[in-house]
Amino acid sequence: MDPFRITSTKVLTLVTVIDKQNQRILLGYKKRGFGAHLWNGFGGKVEPGETPKEGAIRELEEEAGITVHPDKLQKTGLLLFLFENDTVGLETHVYKAYEYEGEIRECDEMRPQWFDFADIPYSQMWPDDETWLPLTLKGQDPFFGRICLKRRPLTESASLENGVSGLNPSSSTASSGSTTSTAASAGNLSTTMTNTSFTADQPSNGPFEIFDYHLEHSLPSAPHEIALDGTVASYEN
Ligand SMILES: CNc1ncnc2c1ncn2[C@@H]1O[C@H](COP(=O)(O)OP(=O)(O)OP(=O)(O)O)[C@@H](O)[C@H]1O
């Protein structure tokens, strides 16, 4: 049995705010919950009745205190995160924004901070961020990614007192529908990596490591192209 086979997905969002003029991005330090103690973009679960874009705007407001007009929120990617021996995949709609309104503020879940493009703290981020965030920053988007993660060996993750907590974000937005295993059509980028290992002296980016990933420069044109023995909710550009 394929340990990365999924039967359903939860729909999540992730927003990168980019200050082009000063060549920096806004990240948030996650204080609790899924991905705690890692720096990440802003986002969360899409709520029932919301489109992914609406959910992304809401989460950005909740977590960073700022508002982005829907026309200014650009789709930069669609990432399917698969965890070993977990049949629920995370369908993550990734956006970027160059403009926002309001004052950036900290909340009980996230502590926002600007990072120069040259100083992005990848070693304290989800390990997959390093694979796709540079594409966003270089404008090599939109992209589609299928990223398989597995737990680090216990000895390593056991020592991570501040590791990522929890595997499954609780969500009521799991979708249902057809299942196919057709990957998106090939774009001009195709990257595959297998069994990445992390050395013990590397700073931690959580208890998961990348087992394998595939990224390409094309968004699936239809939901059935996204699913891999799983299901995908409404798809929007
Ligand atoms: C596996 N590799 C990953 N790489 C990069 N980012 C990842 C990720 N896996 C999840 N994420 C992001 O982590 C946030 C979790 O959101 P999460 O806190 O669970 O949602 P939400 O705020 O709705 O939760 P509450 O129920 O309010 O706590 C959300 O932005 C989601 O896109």
The CA 45 to ligand 1 mean position distance, Å, reads: 7
Mutation probe of ligand 1 site: the residue of 14, 93, 120, 168 with most atoms within 8 A of C-beta? 14
SS (H, E, C) the chain: CCCCCCCEEEEEEEEEEEECCCCEEEEEEECCCECCCCEECECCECCCCCCHHHHHHHHHHHHHCCECCHHHEEEEEEEEEEECCCCEEEEEEEEEECCCECCCCCCCCEEEEEEEHHHCCHHHECCCHHHHHHHHHCCCCCEEEEEEEEECCHHHHHCCCCCCECCCCCCCCCCCCCCCCCCCCCCCCEEEEECCCCCCCCCCCCCEEEEEEEEECCCCCCHHHHCCCCCCCCCCC
Q: What is the pLDDT of residue 217?
A: 87
Output the six-digit token pair for 107. Answer: 């909340």
Residue-wise pLDDT tens for the chain (237 aa)? 789 988 888 999 999 999 999 999 999 999 999 999 999 999 999 999 999 999 999 999 999 999 999 999 999 999 999 999 999 999 999 999 999 999 999 999 999 999 999 999 999 999 999 999 999 999 999 999 999 999 988 654 444 444 444 444 333 333 333 222 333 333 334 333 333 333 444 447 788 999 999 998 877 765 545 554 444 444 444
The CA 21 to ligand 1 mean position distance, Å, reads: 28
Extents of the domains making up the chain: 8-226
The CA 41 to ligand 1 mean position distance, Å, reads: 9
Q: What is the pLDDT of residue 116?
A: 98
The CA 54 to ligand 1 mean position distance, Å, reads: 16
What's the CATH code, domain 8-226?
Answer: 3.90.79.10
Nearest ligand 1 atom to the CA of 169 is 19
Mutation probe of ligand 1 site: the residue of 9, 15, 40 with most atoms within 8 A of C-beta? 40
Q: What is the pLDDT of residue 232?
A: 46
The C-alpha R_g of the chain, in whole angstroms, comes to 17
**Among protein residues, the one whose CA lies closest to atom 20 of ligand 1:** 44
Q: CB under 6 Å to ligand 1: residues?
A: 12, 14, 33-35, 40, 43-45, 81, 90, 92, 126, 128-129, 149, 169
Tokens 């590397």, residue located: 202
Q: What angle do CA 98, 130, 121 make, to 5 degrees?
A: 75
